[in-house]
Amino acid sequence: MQTGTTRRSCRTFGISIWRVPGLLFFLAALVLLSNPALSQDWTGQVQCQLNLQTQDYALQEVQTWTVSGPPYLDSGIQVYPVKWASQSRGVTQRRLGINSLAGQWVGNVAPMETKLIIAVRPSDQRLTIRRWTLPLQAPGAITGAKQTTSAGGPPNQTALTLAAYEWPLPIIEDSPTNTNVVGNGTSNVAGNLMPLHTPDGVLANCQWHFVKGTQQNTGGNNIAPGATGRTVTTPIAGINGNLPTMNTPPATAGGGTSPTTTISNPPVVTQPVAGAPTTTVTSLPPGSNTLPKTDAPTIETGGQLPARCNSISSFGINGHSTHFTQGTTVNLGAGVQVLSVNALSQQHLFTQIFVTENAPPGNHLLTVTTGDEVVSLDNDFTVTQPCEPTRTVSIQSGVTPASAVQGMQNMTVKIGTPSADIGEFREYVGAYFIAGVTKADFGPGITVSSLTLTSQSSATAVLSIAPDAPAGTRTISLHTASQIATASFEVISPKKAELVLPPYPARCNMVSDLPLDGHDTHFAPGTTVSVGRDVQVLGVSVVNAQRLIAQIFISEKAAVGNHTVTVTTGDEVVSDDKNFTVTEPCEPTRTVTIQNGLTPASAVQGMQNMTVKIGTPSAGTGEFREYVGAYFLAGVTKADFGPGITVTSLTVTSQTSATAVINIAAGAAPGARTISLTTANQVANASFEVVAGNK
């Protein structure tokens, strides 16, 4: 018989004790064999049955796990979709001091989705079948009624609605070449997974049958071949497919689902249950349905918890009279880093830890703190040696970008998903990268200034590469406990960047597009261009790392002769001092008409802060030399409305329109006038009238 222990418990009044060495399973390292016979899909089922009958508690429950389809990849791991279902019924009657509790219930969990891994474990080449996800729970799947009675008080009857919890799977292992896996074993069901139960854990009897490919199994069960959703077509031998009948189930009115449900002939406890503790429990407070506890808080973990240094571990802590919350903290002393604490209830929490290489061997004091409540346990958690051996995995998606030039600073790289087919964490499935544990090492000459985990399998790092960092390809690594995830990265020696500019004569008083090419340059958004005094750079458009176009305005004042053109991209500066030349005479002035004119086209003497819209100039009467585009250019176009009118602002709203804010002096000459907008060698004209004001 194969037995599985995924939760352990012992009986101590008011304390539920369990441990979860298998709750988070082997880290993503289960690999499929290369044997062609194992390239087919698995089908099968696990069924576990519990029939518990004690003096004060009875429960019958069946839980099943059935492969429901073909495998698929989940975070790089091949998993099988599985349906989990449960049926149960139960009754309890027991006394706690001078108080008593009676209850009855029925449970029915419709099939819920979960996942299994069916693969060969690399460490010992054993075929294993184990759960890939955390245990499921089905809120509200258990309904019934309960009655609490305090000494001297009337019975308090209430409806009962509880969650149903998935049990641990039994340990299922076999030969790596076996394609017809049949067996039986047990699942250790903790008391807190059973409705209204005392803390004792019990063993559920389990049977399983899994078949790979299309074949007849030796137990006579036919496995439907081929299609999605195939399942075992007959129940596993020895397990009744129906819910077992209770020996003496109490009746419930209305199915036990209404708040007004009453218990028919509720069991009455007139004497304490044999062996029950003699702890005195006071009467229920008014309006309370909860039996108060007066014991001092204590904690248990379910027995010895050995953990090797340089490993990640997870375990549960159960308490008696504790008040765990999401703010509860756990401490295990020097060298043990607590990664997370999850309070599942006031008496039940789960913690994940990292035992470092420097953790002192031997017992560590376990302390759980919830506000002013501090509870300790000094003999359960032990750090052992030697440390967990290092396992190496590959980062499948590598590093992006995969190279950097010597001297680059504050460079962000993305680190992708590591493969799961090379190594595994011992007793741990989850993130390959863990906040607070994972450390990045990019080798000599590269400083990692920050590492941010973006998911369980990806991260971003900010790097600075020293100018003298060794050039060439190197292996970078991310260390997470005993796992080292590696990828390739290259440091490149920078080539000398050069600016390529053929002879470029440009007349003064013109706008021009200046194309600039580079060799081994890194032009990027933010690159700047300078062409010397009195040459205005209107804009820079980066085409790629080796090409950009600068739009420039050479004013009438620009010095004739060579100008130095300089392009700056961060620390990269390239220049040319021989090929850009300003020539004269300046570009002659060309006159165009503003076709849509001005709106409004007139103003009264003395008007202030008047906004005028200036429309589209025609393109048929004049053009810029070597320039097609806007007639109006921000920073270049100047407006002149003539004597007596001040232009306080001019805003270019598009290549062919603008708005001006003007003030008309009271003494401005009345009558029509020509206004002008000058852009380099272009003058755009329109008519405007000053109207005499009333005297």
The pLDDT assigned to 160 comes to 86
Catalogue all structural domains in the chain, each as residue range(s) with its CATH number.
2-94+104-135+165-235 (no CATH), 303-384 (2.60.40.10), 391-492 (2.60.40.10), 498-583 (2.60.40.10), 590-691 (2.60.40.10)
Return the minimum-mean-pLDDT range out of 198-207, 315-324, 599-608. Answer: 198-207
Contact present, 282 and 90 (Cβ < 8 Å): no
Q: HSE on the CB side for 230, CA within 13 Å?
A: 19
Give the list of residues 6+ apart from residue 334 with CB closer than 8 angstroms, or none. Answer: 358, 359, 360
pLDDT tens by residue, 425-470: 333 333 468 888 899 999 999 999 999 988 777 889 999 999 999 9
Average pLDDT, the chain: 77
Q: What is the mean pLDDT of residues 614-619?
A: 66
239 or 476: whose pLDDT is higher?
A: 476
448 or 394: whose pLDDT is higher?
A: 448
Contact present, 406 and 7 (Cβ < 8 Å): no
Q: What is the mean pLDDT of residues 115-133?
A: 83
Confidence grade of residue 567 (pLDDT, cut at 50, 70, 90)? very high
CB atoms within 10 A of CB 116: 24
97 or 612: whose pLDDT is higher?
A: 612
| C-alpha dihedral (172, 175, 179, 185), degrees to nearest 10 | -20
CA distances from 450 to 401, 459, 491, 527, 634 (A): 16, 10, 19, 26, 42
The pLDDT assigned to 289 comes to 34
The pLDDT assigned to 417 comes to 65
Amino acid identity at 420: A
Confidence check: pLDDT of 517 > 90: yes
The pLDDT assigned to 436 comes to 81
The pLDDT assigned to 247 comes to 36
| C-alpha dihedral (437, 438, 444, 445), degrees to nearest 10 | -100
327 or 289: whose pLDDT is higher?
A: 327
Report how far Cα 449 is from the mean position of its chain's Cα atoms.
22
Return the minimum-mean-pLDDT range out of 296-300, 423-427, 607-611. Answer: 423-427
Contact present, 201 and 186 (Cβ < 8 Å): no
99 or 525: whose pLDDT is higher?
A: 525
pLDDT tens by residue, 470-486: 999 999 998 888 888 88
Report how far Cα 83 is from the mean position of its chain's Cα atoms.
26
Task: Please tell me the distance from the alpha carbon of residue 411 to that of residue 399, in angstroms, as a whole number.
Answer: 12
Where does residue 665 fall: left (phi above 0), alpha (psi -120 to 50 degrees), or beta otherwise? beta
Query: DSSP for 621-644?
Result: S--BTTB-S-SS-TTT-EEE--TT
For residue 256, give the 3-state DSSP assignment. helix
CA distances from 687 to 499, 593, 622, 641 (A): 47, 10, 18, 10
Helix (H) or strand (E) holding 487: strand 483-492
Under DSSP, the state recorded for 585 is S
pLDDT tens by residue, 166-208: 988 888 989 999 999 999 988 878 777 888 875 566 888 999 9
The pLDDT assigned to 282 comes to 28
369 or 169: whose pLDDT is higher?
A: 369
Confidence check: pLDDT of 288 > 80: no
The pLDDT assigned to 273 comes to 29
Place of tokens 């076999």: 174
Confidence check: pLDDT of 523 > 70: yes
Task: Please tell me the distance from the alpha carbon of residue 3 to that of residue 671, in angstroms, as a whole number.
Answer: 107
Under DSSP, the state recorded for 304 is -
Confidence grade of residue 295 (pLDDT, cut at 50, 70, 90)? low
Report how far Cα 665 is from the mean position of its chain's Cα atoms.
66
For residue 204, give the 3-state DSSP assignment. strand
Confidence grade of residue 373 (pLDDT, cut at 50, 70, 90)? very high
CB atoms within 10 A of CB 281: 17
The pLDDT assigned to 303 comes to 61
610 or 229: whose pLDDT is higher?
A: 610
Supply 259's token pair. Answer: 């708040």
80 or 622: whose pLDDT is higher?
A: 80
The pLDDT assigned to 123 comes to 65
Q: What is the mean pLDDT of residues 574-582?
A: 93
Question: pTM for the complete prediction?
Answer: 0.36
Confidence grade of residue 695 (pLDDT, cut at 50, 70, 90)? low
The pLDDT assigned to 626 comes to 38
Q: What is the mean pLDDT of residues 656-665?
A: 93
The dihedral through the CA atoms of 677, 679, 680, 683 has a sign that is negative
